[in-house]
């Protein structure tokens, strides 16, 4: 099945009038994780555009360091996915601790960029937009349309870029629940 990017959601649905937000219940980590994953799937086009906007601003002022940071993070992510596919221990870690796996990728990227000298660009151009996306995905309540779209993704009728990314981080079993 072909990968299809979902439509960009309206600003009204994304952050304005009809958008509903609530602090997640931190005592129920599974429900909070499901909210994040489902919002990542539903608003992925909006998140991508937001991420590109911040990258564009940072890239305008620091193009070389942004390129360096993006290259390091991409290589770290690809190395982690390769290791998870070839090492059972890393695969279990990825599946059981997805947040820690993402933090490990970002921490290793931060370490290499410290050595290479692009830390500020990494923090503001890569880590900050990811933080904003995760905050929005955490506090945005799901709508009926959101739940329906996520169900189509989870049963395999639709394949999206975020679905593939979550799958590579070991989160495919939770998408759509």
Percentage, residues of the chain above pLDDT 70: 91
What is the b/e burial string over 38-53, where b = at least 16 CB atoms within 10 angstroms of the residue's CB? bbbbbbbbbbbebbee
pTM of the model as a whole: 0.74
Q: Which residue has the higher pLDDT, 120 or 131?
A: 131
Q: Is pLDDT of 175 > 50?
A: no
Q: Is pLDDT of 115 > 80?
A: no
CB 56 within 8 A of CB 50: no
Residue-level pLDDT at 1 = 58
The pLDDT of 130-150, averaged and rounded, is 83
Residue-level pLDDT at 47 = 94
CB 1 within 8 A of CB 120: no
Residue-level pLDDT at 70 = 81
Residue-level pLDDT at 156 = 58
Residue-level pLDDT at 112 = 80
For residue 140, which phi and psi values (nearest 5 degrees)?
-80, 120
Q: Is 29 exposed, middle or buried (0-12, 13-18, 19+ CB in 10 A)?
A: exposed
Weakest mean pLDDT among 12-26, 54-68, 108-122: 108-122
Partners of residue 140 on adjacent β-strands: 21
Residue-level pLDDT at 172 = 59
Q: Is pLDDT of 145 > 80?
A: no
Q: Is pLDDT of 106 > 70?
A: yes
Q: CA 151, 156, 161, 167: dihedral to nearest 10 degrees?
A: 90
Residue-level pLDDT at 49 = 95
pLDDT digits (tens, 9 = 90+) for 25-77: 888 888 888 888 888 888 999 999 999 999 889 889 888 888 888 888 888 88
CB 175 within 8 A of CB 38: yes
Cα–Cα distance list, 55 to 35, 51, 66, 70, 129 (Å): 26, 6, 8, 10, 8
User: How far is the C-alpha of 55 from the C-alpha of 59, rounded, in Å?
Assistant: 6
């Amino acid at each position: 099945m072909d990968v299809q990017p979902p439509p960009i959601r309206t600003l009204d649905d994304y952050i304005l009038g009809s958008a509903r937000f609530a602090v997640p219940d931190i005592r129920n980590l599974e429900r909070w994780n499901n909210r994040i994953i489902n919002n990542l799937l539903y608003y992925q086009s909006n998140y991508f555009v937001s991420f590109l906007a911040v990258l564009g601003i940072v890239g305008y002022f620091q193009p070389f360091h942004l390129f360096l940071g993006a290259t390091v993070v991409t290589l770290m992510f690809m190395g982690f996915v390769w290791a998870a596919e070839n090492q059972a221990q890393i695969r279990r870690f990825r599946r059981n601790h997805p947040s820690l796996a993402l933090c490990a990728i970002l921490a290793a990227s931060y370490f290499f960029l410290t050595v290479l000298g692009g830390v500020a660009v990494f923090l503001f151009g890569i880590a900050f937009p990811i933080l904003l996306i995760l905050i929005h995905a955490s506090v945005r309540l799901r709508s009926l349309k959101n739940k329906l779209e996520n169900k189509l993704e989870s049963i395999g009728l639709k394949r999206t870029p975020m679905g593939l990314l979550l799958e590579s981080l070991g989160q495919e079993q939770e998408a759509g629940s």
